[in-house]
């Protein structure tokens, strides 16, 4: 399989690239931090007999997305799996004092970025007459919690797009799946709190969060179902988390 993972410089995306690499699959990895992409490419190619293509671009920029994908070799355009993982939360506060820049970053990345790459790659999958799009949603796309307003809205949009894209691509034999995690300890909360590591650490205090590897294993499993089987939607939580806000801290 050839697997394109967006947001592979960190967290869930990086672990996803690693598990596919270990299992001998070629990869296209993307993100904005070029150094990290280059390091990961070198590591994965040295440790596994695979080919990794690193594409550095900002998923919020349609031109950058289209240029990056159009420059792929014809072999690399035969993408079997697109993992729509790049995304972020910015801020956690009430709507009346929300920062416009935070809102725009989330909407532009989680919704518009996902749309840009899905449109571009689904056209390649249609030509290839097969493919699988795996969208990383969230528990925040299934319920809304206090101060989560815009982030929750973007992940509800991913939930809706997951269903809509599946309908649109049905006739082309392309599978579409959502993997929706609860709390996973990555750089997610550091980004959400604008680099405040102490504040980020407190999110996971007193409980065992999911690891990015837990989610990567689920993504790998989803991508490896037989051709006639599609997993539409999975909600995966730490055992210590019942809902977005019901958490059992010891």
Does 139 sit near ligand 8X3 (CB under 6 A)?
yes
Residue nearest to ligand 8X3 (CB): 138
Question: Is 116 marked active-site?
Answer: no
Q: Which of ligand 8X3, ligand NDP, none does residue 222 bind (CB under 5 to 8 Å by kind)?
A: none
Distance CA 44, CA 27 (A): 9
Does 176 sit near ligand 8X3 (CB under 6 A)?
no
Please identify which residue in the block is written with the tokens 């672990």: 15
Q: Which of ligand NDP, ligand 8X3, none does residue 238 bind (CB under 5 to 8 Å by kind)?
A: none
Does 4 sit near ligand 8X3 (CB under 6 A)?
no
Selected binder of ligand 8X3 within 3, 124, 169, 244 (CB under 6 A): 244
CA 35 to chain centre: 20
Does 117 sit near ligand 8X3 (CB under 6 A)?
no
Chain contacts with ligand 8X3 (rule: CB under 6 A): 138-140, 148, 183, 244
Q: Which sequence positions are flagged as catalytic?
A: 151
């Amino acid at each position: 399989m050839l697997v394109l993972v967006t947001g592979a410089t960190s967290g869930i995306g990086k672990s996803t690239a690693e598990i596919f690499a270990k299992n001998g699959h070629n990869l296209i990895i993307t993100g904005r931090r070029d150094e990290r992409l280059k390091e990961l490419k070198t590591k994965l190619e040295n440790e596994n007999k695979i080919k990794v293509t690193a594409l550095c671009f900002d998923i919020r920029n349609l031109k950058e997305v289209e240029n990056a994908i159009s420059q792929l070799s014809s072999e690399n355009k035969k993408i079997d799996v697109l993992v729509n993982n790049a995304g972020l939360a910015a801020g956690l506060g009430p709507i009346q004092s929300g920062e416009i820049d935070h809102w725009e970053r989330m909407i532009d990345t989680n919704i518009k970025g996902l749309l840009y790459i899905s449109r571009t790659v689904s056209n390649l999958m249609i030509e290839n007459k097969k493919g699988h799009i795996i969208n990383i949603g969230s528990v925040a796309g299934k319920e809304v919690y206090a101060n989560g307003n815009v982030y929750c809205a973007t992940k509800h949009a991913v939930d809706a797009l997951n269903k809509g894209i599946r309908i649109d691509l049905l006739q082309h034999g392309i599978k579409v799946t959502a993997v929706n995690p609860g709390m996973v300890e990555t750089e997610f909360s550091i980004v959400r709190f604008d680099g405040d590591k102490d504040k980020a650490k407190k999110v996971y205090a007193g409980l065992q969060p999911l690891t990015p590897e837990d989610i990567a294993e689920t993504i790998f499993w989803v991508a490896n179902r037989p051709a006639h089987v599609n997993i539409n939607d999975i909600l995966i939580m730490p055992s210590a988390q019942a809902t977005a806000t019901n958490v059992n801290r010891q």
